[in-house]
């Protein structure tokens, strides 16, 4: 059995091969119900990409509506049928598009597609483990996710259409089926899909946490872990603590919808009829939802930041600046992310005093974010930057993180939020800081670890094209939206034609839509590059980016169990780039200090006196030698 | 890079035929439905062709670059194009164009934003906004100059090695403490402004003009409190009672309802405090009047409040914005269903005199007809009660 070998790290090279020869993998066990973390990562990635493309197409549909509210597009009617009568999107279907775009992007692409892919791929590879702590659960996690995706998309094929109450599905709109078509069967399926999705996330998260805590190779103590692992680890903790609250909220909503309870409902008169529900509160849903919802944005963002740290250090050929500060700021974000949710609710009728409290906690969370930004800048300083596509996207992330983060200072301020809440300013803010930044982190990771997934390289030049078009179009789309918000244009408006005062934004909407179309077309360069390179890309070498971390010590062939022989031992931190005195500009984590006597520094030994003594002796000898030569 | 493989005639043809086939299907369907879709296939194929042309164009450029690099290699020169330099220069260009673009957007789009606040508390919000804007714009510009210039300046060169600089605790302390101080200042300012807006003394609450707003899909119902300056009780179970006349669910046993006024537009006297009580009959809505920097959600089952003082009349604002058509508006800002985008209500700010005149013209919300129906219902109920009493 291969699994026996996997759990026996001392098995010799020969034994392992022997085992594999006898273990015949069928198509089903290798590509479909695979328990190999690398294959599961690829499954998450490709499902995530497919979902991302779908969500992007949805956004283009509603962008066209916003740009040309009075124009009829016969193609829409051909494709969408009664969702677009006379070639114009139905207002309720418009809201469904917005809702499903948000749901898919936040959960299916940027949570499962990002964490699912890179946590699965990198946790065992960068920590020196043969696989996840529980490969079977890992497989289960993917198939829950897949089922959730299928259910979510299936709602486009039901008569009343997909859920339409916004991705936050605030009741009573989402709870009362009569209030909009999207709150019928579509909402029921949305809730079922999300429940499965959360199950997938939790199974995955437990697996990530236990793997990080238990399965690190010899020498890999917590402070030698790459920042990617730190971010995945903390992300999994955030998810584990916050997702169950969403499930609780969802279950209560299902009760309200189908079993006549009144958790969120009270005093409602709809469609000519007073509902019997009394005593519930819609605010309760908002508390429960945002208790997940806010940590969720960090679930989306932290892995992207981790990936960026790794990519920037590798390609700037410099150690990440302030490794400890980076970890502590991640921990700070993790803890604080649980006590800021109320800033989504300043004007929802929550007690105004609470609003003040949440404002204080919210602005505190900006401090660790600022530290991370400055550390990125310091890492680039005096670097020797190789602009791989991954590096371009990582720099793009830093730019979006700054631009989007700064507008958070406006929205986190309860007084300013009065006028900005639920306007396009919010749309601009979160699309930059969590949408664009996280997707750039994900793309950066894809370009960087593509060789680890498929043994081939993606085309760099197409990557440059992809980056520049996407980077520019993202700013063109989201920058003007800030000003729409400052003009008091509310979000989720089907068209701006009903208000005289919004007419001035129609031309801007056309501009934004065409920028969005440019951005969408640019993704074709990526999709082509990605799928073409899987089969025909240039063959990769073992360590194409000359990186220090463990995953690049595995063979290009990507075998089950990761390392053919013994799992390597780790001796040093992951960021020894361009260390003075060493002959190459990177020292892998597996290189012991005894082999790098010329470049060791006092702090490398972490107070180990014996090692320090040996180094001192060597230094003394070496200095004598050089003097003699002189 | 081998673009030839995927831009040969064969694959192009495949794509074209595939596109053509699906187009054919689409067209067939379209013609079945109506002649209105005529020419749709043409339009779609035009765009597909345009897109394919763009792909071919990019493919050709890729090919040319590849050939160029190969010839350089054959000639024994260092590998063709210095892509690191290219991207570095692109970052420098992106910095210049980006900063100009941001400036252009600030001025061009910035000129379209809301005029100065038309309410007293809004002035404080606006000054808070401006301070935040100045600080964040400064940080935005400086960090982007650093980021993109570093990208340009430290682009890869074989001659250089990166500077091994893993940490500097002093620096890190600075850039933890400075943002922390800046944020503390902003938080404190914001906190006091917020408390000022939301924490209004009891006596000021009672003396303000009381207006009751009820949101429902997809309109607003507004009533003024009348002479006693108190809005009477409502009960959602009474909505539609009195033979369908009672669309707000007024409880007529509460006599305070009788002098309440029904209005079709909100008219406010300038410089007088006004207190809105906001409620919803069905789903969440949001009472949003951006010119006054006012927003509060309308929640079924829970009244919410917003009190403020308008300080610029509509006429003055028309002058200030140089727009004789200008009017204050009430929007819905919380997604509430299909017609969420169309829940407007007119708001006017006028002088005290005009306000009093307008007020006189407004009709009581409890009409004579409603009173009659109510009496009828009462007498019926009484007779039923009497019968029950007799039967006992």
pLDDT digits (tens, 9 = 90+) for A320-340: 999 999 999 999 999 999 999
- Weakest mean pLDDT among A519-533, B16-30, B37-51: B16-30
pLDDT at B36: 57
Beta-carbon separation of B105 and A423 below 8 A: no
Q: How confident is the model at residue B384 (pLDDT cuts 50, 70, 90)?
A: confident
B residues 21-60 lying closer than 8 A (beta carbon) to A: 26, 29-30, 33, 36-37, 40, 43-44, 51, 54-55, 58
Yes or no, beta carbons of A461 and B1 under 8 Å apart: yes
Which chain A residue is nearest to residue B327, measuring alpha carbons?
A501
Average pLDDT value for residue range B28-34:
53
B129: contact with A, CB 8 A cutoff: yes
- On the question of pLDDT at B25 being above 80, the answer is no
Rounded average pLDDT over B214-242: 92
Minimum mean pLDDT range among A395-399, B1-5, B186-190: B1-5
Residue B15 within a domain: yes
3-state secondary structure (DSSP) of residue B63: helix
CATH number of the domain that residue B366 is part of:
2.60.40.420
Q: What is the pLDDT of residue A421?
A: 95
Domain that holds residue B17: 1-81
Among B89, B119, B123, B283, the residue to mutate for chain A (most A Cβ within 10 A)? B283
| CA A247 remoteness from chain centre | 20
Closest CB from A378, A419, A498 relative to B293: A419
State the pLDDT at residue A470: 97
3-state secondary structure of B274: strand
Residue B291 falls inside a structural domain: yes
B128, B332, B342 ranked by CB distance to A416: nearest: B128
The mean pLDDT value of chain B amounts to 88
B311 to chain A, minimum CA–CA distance in Å?
17
Q: Quick one: B96 and B186 in the same domain?
A: yes
Question: Is the Cβ pair A402, B147 closer than 8 Å?
Answer: yes
Taking an 8 Å cut-off on Cβ atoms, the answer to whether A387 and B87 are in contact is: yes
Task: Decide if B92 touches A, using CB distance below 8 A.
Answer: no
Residue with tokens 């400036």: B103
Give contacts of B191 with chain A, Cβ < 8 Å: 356, 359-360, 414
Same domain, B109 and B67: no
Residue B241's Cβ-count burial label (10 Å; 0-12, 13-18, 19+) is: buried
| B361 plus B236 within the same structural domain | yes
Q: Where a domain ends, among B129, B164, B199?
A: B199
Name which of B125, B171, B284 is nearest A170 (Cβ-Cβ). Answer: B284
Lowest average pLDDT, out of A321-335, A611-625, B146-160, goes to A611-625
Task: List CB contacts of A444: < 8 A, sequence separation 6 or more.
Answer: A304, A307, A308, A311, A389, A390, A391, A393, A394, A396, A397
C-alpha distance from residue B330 to each of A344, A489, B58, B265, B294 (Å): 22, 12, 50, 10, 10
Instruction: Give the separation between CA A230 and CA A506, rounded to whole angstroms.
Output: 45
Is the CB of residue A49 less than 8 Å from the CB of residue A523? no
Contact: B195, A418; criterion CB under 8 Å: no
State whether residue A595 sits within 8 Å of chain B by CB: no
Question: Is residue B163 a part of any domain in this protein?
Answer: yes
Kindly state whether residue B40 falls inside one of the protein's structural domains: yes
Asked whether residue B38 falls in the same domain as residue B130, the answer is no
Question: CB B139 to CB A364 under 8 A?
Answer: no
CA B150 to chain A, closest CA, distance in angstroms equals 6
Q: How confident is the model at residue A527 (pLDDT cuts 50, 70, 90)?
A: very high
DSSP per-residue codes, A179-235: G-GGGSHHHHHHHHHHHHHHHHHHHHHHHHHHHHHH-PPTT--GGGS-HHHHHHHHH
Tell me the pLDDT band of B270, cut-offs 50, 70 and 90.
very high
B392 found inside a domain: no
* Averaged pLDDT, B293-302: 95
Q: What gap in Å lies between CA A294 and CA A290, rounded to an integer?
A: 5
Residue A21: the pLDDT is 45
pLDDT 10s digits, B305-338 = 999 999 999 999 999 999 999 999 999 999 999 9
The B residues from 189 to 208 touching A (CB cutoff 8 Å) are 190-191, 193-195, 197-199
A472 vs chain B: nearest CA distance in angstroms?
9
Proportion of chain A above pLDDT 70, given as a percent: 95
Looking at the fold, whether B289 and B371 belong to one and the same domain comes out as yes
In a domain, B386, yes or no: no
B110, B131, B338, B347: best mutation site toward chain A, by most A Cβ within 10 Å?
B338
Q: What is the pLDDT of residues A17-36, one digit of tens each?
A: 444 444 677 888 888 888 99
pLDDT at A16 over 50: no
pLDDT tens profile A472-497: 999 999 999 999 999 999 999 999 98
pLDDT band at B389 (very low <50, low <70, confident <90, very high): low
Whether the predicted pLDDT of A216 surpasses 90: yes
Inter-chain touch A406–B90, beta carbons under 8 Å: no
Structural domains for chain A: 2-539 (1.20.210.10), 563-629 (no CATH)
* Res. B181 pLDDT band, cuts 50 70 90: very high
Q: Minimal Cα–Cα distance from A330 to chain B, Å?
A: 14
Which of B114, B136, B301 has the CB atom closest to A406's CB atom? B136
B293 touches chain A (CB under 8 A): yes
**Does residue A254 surpass a pLDDT of 50?**
yes
**A399 close contact with B: CB closer than 8 A:** yes
Q: What percent of chain B has pLDDT over 90?
A: 70
Residues of B in contact with A484 (CB under 8 A): 109
The 10s digit of each residue's pLDDT in A87-134 is: 899 999 999 999 999 999 999 999 999 999 999 999 999 999 999 999
Final residue before a domain boundary, out of B51, B81, B111: B81
In this prediction, residue B132 has a pLDDT band, given cuts at 50, 70 and 90, of very high
In this structure, the answer to whether residues B162 and B228 fall within a common structural domain is no
- The total of other beta-carbon atoms located within 10 Å of residue B46's CB is 11
Say what the pLDDT of residue B6 is: 47
Q: Tell me whether residue B389 is in a domain.
A: no
- Residue B11 pLDDT > 70, yes or no? no
Residue B4 has pLDDT above 90, yes or no: no
Same domain flag for B74 and B135: no
**For position B61, what pLDDT does the model report?**
92
Q: How does pLDDT run across B83-111, given as a tens digit for each residue?
A: 899 999 999 999 999 999 999 999 999 99
How many domains does chain B contain in total? 3
B385 lies in some domain: no
Best residue of A354, A415, A481, A485 to probe chain B, by most B CBs closer than 10 Å: A415
Residue A365: name the closest of A385, A347, A339 by CA: A339
Shared domain check, B113 and B77: no
Cα–Cα distance between A38 and A47 in angstroms, integer?
A: 14
Q: Is there a cis peptide before residue A172, judged by omega within 30 degrees of 0?
A: yes
Nearest chain A Cα to B240, which residue? A272
State pLDDT tens for residues A570-592.
999 999 999 998 988 899 999 99
Residue B162 CB partners (closer than 8 Å, separation 6+) = A316, A317, A318, A382, A383, A384, A577, A578, A585, B154
Looking at residues A537-565, what average pLDDT do you find? Answer: 92
Enumerate the residues of chain A whose CB falls inside 8 A of the CB of residue B336. 173
Put simply, the answer to whether A464 touches B179 (Cβ < 8 Å) is no
Pick the residue of B46, B250, B284 with the most A CBs within 10 A to test the interface with A by mutation.
B284
With 70 as the cut, is the pLDDT of residue A346 above it?
yes
Does the distance separating the beta carbons of B162 and A577 come in below 8 Å? yes
**Rounded-to-integer distance, Cα A594 and Cα A585, Å:** 17
List C-alpha distances in Å: B371 to B241, B242, B379: 12, 9, 12
ipTM value for the complex: 0.91
Q: How confident is the model at residue B392 (pLDDT cuts 50, 70, 90)?
A: low
The answer, yes or no, to whether residue A350 has pLDDT greater than 60, is yes
pLDDT for B30 beyond 60? no
Least confident among A77-81, B215-219, B268-272: A77-81
Full 3-state SS string of A6-21: HCCCCCCHHHHHHHHH
Cβ–Cβ of A95/B340 closer than 8 Å?
A: yes
Whether residue A625 is predicted with pLDDT greater than 70 in this model: the reply is no
**Residue B138: which residues within 8 A CB-CB, separation 6 or more?**
none
- C-alpha distances in Å from residue A386, one per residue of A462, B80, B84, B202, B279: 16, 16, 6, 65, 59
Residues 356-375 of B with CB under 8 A from A: none
A257-313 pLDDT per residue, tens: 999 999 999 999 998 889 999 999 999 999 999 999 999 999 999 999 999 999 999
| 8 Å CB contact of A472 and B143 | no
Residue from the list B94, B157, B335 with its beta carbon closest to the beta carbon of A384 = B157
pLDDT for the residue numbered A4:
40
- pLDDT score, position B158: 86
Residues B335 and B311 in one domain: yes
Same domain, B231 and B296: yes
**B275: how many CB neighbours lie within 10 A of its CB?**
20
- The pLDDT confidence band at residue B1, using thresholds 50, 70 and 90, is very low
What's the whole-number mean pLDDT along residues B132-139?
A: 96
Separation in Å, CA of A253 to nearest CA in chain B: 15
pLDDT of amino acid A12: 42
Q: Give the helix ranges, DSSP H, for A221-365.
A: 227-258, 282-316, 323-336, 352-364
**Residues B180 and B101 reside in one and the same domain:** yes
C-alpha Rg value of chain A to the nearest Å = 26
Kindly state whether B99 is in contact with chain A, defined as any CB-CB distance less than 8 angstroms: no
* Per-residue confidence (pLDDT) for residue A501, from 0 to 100: 86
CB within 8 Å of B211: residues ≥ 6 apart: B222, B223, B224, B225, B266, B274, B275, B276, B277
Distance between CA atoms of residues A259 and A265, nearest Å: 13
| A316 touches B at CB < 8 Å | yes
Minimal CA separation from A352 to chain B, in Å: 6
The pLDDT of residue A9 is above 50 = no
Clarify whether residues B261 and B338 are in a common domain: yes
At A46 the pLDDT is 96
């Amino acid at each position: 059995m291969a699994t026996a070998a996997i759990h026996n790290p001392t098995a010799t090279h020969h034994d392992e091969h022997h085992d594999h020869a006898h273990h015949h993998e069928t198509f089903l066990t290798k590509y479909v119900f695979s328990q190999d973390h690398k294959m599961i990562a690829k499954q998450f990635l490709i499902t995530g990409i497919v979902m991302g493309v779908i969500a992007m197409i949805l956004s283009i549909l509603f962008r066209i509506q916003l740009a040309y509210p009075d124009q009829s597009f016969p193609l829409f009617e051909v494709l969408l049928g009664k969702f677009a009568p006379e070639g114009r999107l139905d207002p309720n279907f418009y809201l469904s598009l917005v809702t499903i775009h948000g749901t898919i992007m936040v959960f299916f692409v940027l949570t499962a597609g990002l964490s699912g892919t890179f946590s699965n791929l990198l946790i065992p590879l960068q920590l020196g483990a043969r696989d996840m702590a529980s490969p079977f659960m890992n497989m289960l996690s993917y198939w829950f996710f897949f089922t959730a995706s299928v259910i979510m998309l299936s709602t486009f094929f039901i008569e009343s259409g997909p859920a339409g109450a916004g991705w936050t599905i605030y009741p009573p709109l989402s709870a009362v089926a009569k209030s909009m078509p999207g709150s019928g069967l579509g909402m029921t399926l949305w809730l079922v899909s999300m429940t499965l999705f959360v199950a997938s996330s939790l199974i995955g998260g437990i697996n990530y946490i236990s793997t990080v805590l238990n399965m690190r190779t010899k020498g890999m103590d917590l402070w030698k872990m790459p920042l990617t692992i730190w971010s995945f680890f903390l992300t999994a903790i955030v998810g584990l603590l916050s997702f169950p609250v969403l499930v609780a909220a969802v279950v209560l909503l299902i009760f309200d919808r189908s079993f006549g309870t009144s958790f969120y409902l009270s005093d409602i008169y709809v469609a000519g009829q007073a509902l019997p529900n009394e005593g519930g509160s819609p605010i309760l849903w908002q508390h429960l939802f945002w208790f997940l919802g806010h940590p969720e944005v960090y679930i989306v963002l932290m892995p992207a930041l981790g990936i960026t740290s790794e990519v920037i250090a590798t390609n700037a050929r410099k150690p990440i600046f302030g490794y400890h500060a980076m970890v502590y700021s991640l921990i700070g974000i993790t803890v604080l992310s649980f006590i800021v949710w109320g800033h989504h609710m300043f004007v929802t009728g929550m007690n105004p005093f609470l609003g003040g409290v949440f404002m204080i906690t919210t602005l505190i969370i900006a401090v660790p974010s600022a530290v991370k930004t400055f550390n990125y800048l310091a890492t680039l300083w005096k670097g020797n930057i190789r602009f791989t596509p991954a590096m371009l996207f990582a720099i793009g992330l830093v730019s979006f993180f700054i631009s989007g983060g700064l507008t958070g200072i406006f929205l986190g301020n309860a007084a300013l939020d009065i006028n900005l809440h639920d306007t396009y300013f919010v749309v601009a803010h979160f699309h930059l800081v969590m949408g664009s930044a996280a997707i750039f982190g994900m793309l950066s990771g894809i370009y960087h670890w593509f060789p680890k997934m498929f043994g081939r390289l993606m085309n760099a030049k197409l990557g440059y094209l992809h980056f520049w078009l996407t980077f520019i179009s993202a700013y063109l789309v989201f920058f003007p939206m800030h000003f729409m918000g400052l003009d008091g244009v509310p979000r989720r408006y089907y068209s701006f034609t009903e208000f005289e005062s919004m007419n001035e934004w129609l031309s801007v909407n056309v501009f934004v839509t065409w920028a969005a179309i440019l951005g969408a077309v640019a993704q074709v360069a990526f999709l082509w590059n990605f799928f073409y390179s899987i089969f025909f890309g240039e063959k990769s070498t073992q360590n194409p980016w000359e990186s220090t971390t463990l995953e690049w010590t595995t063979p290009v062939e990507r075998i089950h169990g990761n390392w053919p022989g013994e799992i390597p031992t780790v001796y040093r931190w992951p960021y020894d780039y361009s260390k003075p005195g060493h002959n190459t500009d990177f020292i892998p984590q597996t290189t012991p200090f005894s082999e790098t006597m010329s470049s060791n520094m006092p702090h490398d030994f972490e107070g180990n006196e014996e090692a320090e003594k040996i180094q001192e002796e060597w230094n003394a000898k070496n200095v004598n030698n050089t003097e003699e030569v002189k | 890079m081998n673009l030839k493989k995927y831009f040969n005639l064969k694959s192009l043809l495949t794509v074209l035929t595939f596109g053509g086939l699906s187009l054919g299907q689409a067209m067939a369907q379209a013609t079945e439905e109506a002649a209105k879709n005529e020419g749709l296939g043409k339009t779609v194929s035009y765009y597909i062709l345009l897109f394919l042309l763009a792909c071919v164009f990019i493919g050709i450029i890729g090919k040319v670059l590849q050939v160029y690099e190969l010839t350089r290699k054959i000639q024994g020169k260092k590998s063709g194009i210095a892509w690191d330099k290219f991207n570095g220069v692109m970052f420098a260009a992106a910095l210049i164009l980006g900063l100009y673009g941001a400036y252009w957007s600030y001025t061009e789009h910035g000129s379209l934003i809301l005029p100065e606040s038309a309410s007293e508390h809004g002035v404080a919000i606006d000054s808070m906004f401006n301070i935040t804007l100045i600080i964040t714009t400064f940080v935005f510009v400086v960090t982007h100059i650093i980021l993109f210039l570093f990208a340009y300046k430290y682009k890869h060169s074989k001659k250089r090695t990166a500077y091994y600089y893993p940490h500097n605790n002093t620096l890190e302390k600075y850039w933890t403490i400075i943002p922390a101080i800046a944020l503390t200042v902003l938080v404190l300012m914001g906190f006091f402004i917020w408390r000022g807006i939301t924490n209004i003394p009891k006596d000021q609450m009672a003396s303000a003009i009381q207006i009751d707003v009820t949101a429902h899909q997809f309109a607003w119902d507004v009533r003024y409190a009348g002479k006693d300056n108190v809005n009477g009780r409502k009960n959602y179970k009474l909505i539609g009672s009195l033979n369908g006349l009672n669309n707000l669910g007024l409880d007529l046993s509460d006599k305070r309802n009788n002098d309440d006024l029904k209005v079709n537009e909100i008219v406010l006297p300038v410089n007088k405090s006004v207190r809105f009580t906001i409620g919803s009959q069905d789903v969440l809505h949001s009472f949003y009047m951006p010119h006054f920097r006012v927003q509060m959600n309308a929640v079924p089952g829970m009244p919410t409040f917003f009190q403020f003082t308008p300080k610029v009349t509509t006429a003055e604002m028309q002058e200030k914005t140089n727009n004789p058509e200008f009017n204050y508006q009430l929007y819905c800002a919380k997604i509430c269903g299909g017609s969420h985008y169309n829940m407007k209500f007119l708001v006017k700010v006028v002088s005290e005199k005009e306000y009093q005149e307008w007020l006189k013209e407004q009709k009581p919300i409890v009409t004579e007809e409603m009173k009659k129906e109510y009496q009828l219902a009462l007498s019926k109920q009484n007779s039923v009660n009497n019968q029950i009493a007799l039967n006992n």
